[in-house]
Structure 1
Amino acid sequence: MTQSPAPLPPPKLRRHLREAASLTPDQVAERVGVARETVRAWESGRTTPRGRRREAYAKLLASLTKADMVTNTQEAARPPQVTVCLNGDPQHPETLEIPGAAGAPGTPEVPGAPESSGVPEVPGGPDTGATLTPAQAFDALYAFCAPALVRQAYLLSGRRELARESVERAFQLAWQRWPEVAVDRDPAGWVRATAYEYALSPWHRFRPRYRHPEPPPSDAADRALLDVLLALPAPYRRTLLLYDGLGLDLPETAAETEASTPAAANRLLHAREAVAARLPELASPSALHRRLAEVASAERLRAAGPTTVRAGGEQRARFWTRAAIAFTIAIIGATALTVRTAPARYEPAVPPGETVQGVPPRSAPGPLSDAELNLRAKLRSGIQHGPQRLLPLAE
């Protein structure tokens, strides 16, 4: 008699159970006896385990579905929230989710991020239920995301100064659009996508300060890996960092890179093949993930303070506002001058000339005869002040 397969919870619940137990995909893969990518495929629903692996996986999930674990899962699956008063209006509070806390679903593994679990400390509001001003909520998001984001931008661009500048510009733009970013379902993803776009912009090659390469890492292994990453096309490099570096799922990686899921998978495979061709020891995704984190953490990259970033964003906003006002005034002045100097009545345009038919062409004078030449010479030899008085002469 055929035995029925062991029941499994839905794919989303599988991932929630794993994260509630503070287990990484590598730990689950080691217990079940499969690869890390296989566990991610089971959790995303792309594949379903079979045979002994299904039994082992179902047994592991069953051990996590006890009463106390279910309760912890429901609490851990809810991201920490803070109440934000947009534009300083306490009458219209909004809820801001601070991603990256322990137990929050979809938490990426950030290369170079400090190992900490929990919500970042917020000045003036340490409790997650406190009401924060926009500046305090922005500072909390910046303090949690900026250090790791600078290291990620360094892996993308290979330039330390550009990495810091990319993160600062991204957060300056986030501060300018803070009412929109504060209510976004993933503020950290919004800022990360903006920083990645700025770091990978091809226009930096025309800037004088970025025409010459920066000093490479001191370690030969780190230098080799960074050279391989910079040799990849920008979309491939970004996909590799998001999937193998941060640990995002393939659909999330495809959405952030604005590509379809098959296209993102194709980019990931080609990027892994390129890395494995030059660095065979990094053919394993787990080894590549570890080395990316080590290279990102080796460089001592520090982001500016949140107050400095907010002040820079406000200064940039004032500059562009004044430039727009000056440009508008110039257009208004030019329009007023045109109206003042324009003619007050209609002046018809001169019509173009037309060819008149039937008029004989003008003939040029021909050569003079001998008599005409003698007459011309006689007239030229006469008095120059006028003709003489004509008198009748008797014959």
Structure 2
Amino acid sequence: MTDDSLVVMKDLMSNYCIMGFANVFKREKVSFSDPLTQHNVEPVIFMGEDVKFVSKTAVGGDLKELHEVSRKEWVNFNRTLMQKFPVAKTIRIASTSDVIFRNAKASGRSLTTLRLEELDDPQKIAVQEVKVITQQDYVLRLRELNDEIAKAWKFEDRVTALKLSIKVTRLLSDTSVKEFYPTLFVLVTNILDTLGSLVWERIKRKAEYDDNGTLVCCLPENFTTKDVRSEAKETCNNWFCKIGSIRELLPRIYLELAILRCWHFLQDSSLDALERLTMMIRGLADPLASAYCRLYMTHCAQELLASDSGFLITSVNDITTTLSKIVYGTVTTNAKSLEDRKLLLSLLEPSVEWITKCLFKYRSQLKCGDILVDIASVRNNTKLAVKCFEVSVILHNLLRELSTEIVGANALGIIDMIEKAKDISLDQVG
């Protein structure tokens, strides 16, 4: 951290400096380019520092060990997430989820017919198209689907494996049973992680073996695109093209995230893809779906061990905007009552917790102040800059990652910020 950054960090903790962000930081030019239809677009996104990847010397460990530690942390996080939000024994879901109701036959009506009937009598259709399933049966069915995908892959039926994965991912579009969503997220992303590993191993084998199974070369641990055979690059590109052709936005994002690290076969840096996906997630209108999609993106990015914090800072600011609207009751959701809004906020908190944890991961404590300054400076106007630190759940998770030295040196400013950050997003004690 430079001397100037230290000064700004101290001022940042002061209420007077927070109110004056518009005069201190330069504003970015707003761009309205569409990242959904441009794979090679250069989106406007804040990049906190130069693009770098974590090396062994940078973090003092072997890369395989670091990956293993990250995976264990993710497993523990998922276990805690499921325990934090227990659900009822029965769940009401749409009967059109044929991937869950495998024995249930379709009604035989076309999509157009269903839409017309819904317009004529939406309440009647809503009742007809909702079924009840036990939580245990739902979980068992998802585990069966995981086995079916693995089995299809084993018999080289890649098309079936991908189709099943798309159907499973679509389940994350349904946020009607909010308390069940964290559990659903864990179950579905486990399946996606399985698919991602299968695709990675297939492409890696293509890079190391020819069609006859003869070993051609062994990819080094830190391989570059120059080490990858053209056959492997072609297979990898085909997978990204298949996923890019998925019509629904949410499955398209999730499935590309599942194979995100496969970009390493095509490009030496995957950060361009991360930036594009970060912008695409803004197209998910549901706050619960978008927050958990950012959570999964952060998890997948850990496989890259990238030290760049730009996409994480953008994610924190995007979630802050969503949380502010929920806190002040301006967001368009079904959560109208105070209790419903509190429930929604509690469901969003785990994504904030994990993203902020990864934001400061593998970074020296001296850089924490720079990151906080970056988070504030990316806002487009003074009011939004203030709200970034006035949403209590955001402030709480950011402060948790600061060293005792930084907290002690800026205690009065932090207390002032805490006093101002009193809202329903975090339970207030005392």
TM bucket (normalised to shorter chain) is under 0.3
TM-score by length of 2: 0.21
Q: Which has the larger radius of gyration?
A: 1
Q: Which has the higher contact order (CA 8 A, sep 6+)?
A: 2
- Indicate the structure with greater helix content: 2
TM-score by length of 1: 0.22
